[in-house]
Structure 1
Amino acid sequence: MRSLILLTAAALAGCAANDGPARQEALAAVPGKAVGEPLTCIQQRDVDRVEAVNDYVAFFHMRGSRVYRMDFPQSCRGLKNDAFSHKSSMAQYCRGDIITTFDTTTRMTTGSCGLSSFTPWELPPKGE
């Protein structure tokens, strides 16, 4: 059993190392700036739409004008082209929750991704 745990830890460390440079590049390429401290949870009913910027960043556009940036801990491959579902008894998106991505045409699951904190974000004006 111990060798299985070590093998899994080594495999996970390899994935994180491979994700590192691509993740840093993707995070740095996102426009705008933080305008407050990150939140652990946001209410689902207040979310107007979710915009996947790339495999590492999504904007949660809230009713009104507030936007939260959420950086995935690891790549959420395919999120930009797919949809996602989320199950929670609390009607919130929270750090640590898992979303399941799926193809909107076939309705087949394409993966799962963990959520992180939600940072209040100011996007640049359109055209910049």
Structure 2
Amino acid sequence: LYLCFVLGNLNVALQVWDIGGQTIGGKMLDKYIYGTQGVLLVYDITNYQSFENLEDWFSMVKKVNEESETQPFIALVGNKIDLEHMRTVKADKHQRFCQENGLGSFFVSAKTGDSVSEYLHVFPKG
């Protein structure tokens, strides 16, 4: 996904790579992550295991960027808010993870588009 838009007085080019199908030990992952300006850690609010896996992904992002001159802005994104009635990851657990790790926090629905444009415009600000 590649988006260009104006944010205040800045022209922003946002390129999003979906690497969710990769394994943590994937050979190319560090190439996508090293030196990036932002990382979205996205999980499914109806799938507790997807939230559990975040710890490993977060650790890997930090490790890959240890020697980078700048650290990326990292945000936790709870997806599928259109399925609130099936939620297995409570919002307070999400918020606690964000607070403990200094992460941005968003809830979206990729299916309905709820809050997607809001976080895509807030995210580049870091």
TM-score range, shorter chain: under 0.3
Larger Cα Rg: Structure 1 or Structure 2?
A: 1
- Normalised by the length of structure 1, the TM-score is 0.25
- Normalised by the length of structure 2, the TM-score is 0.26
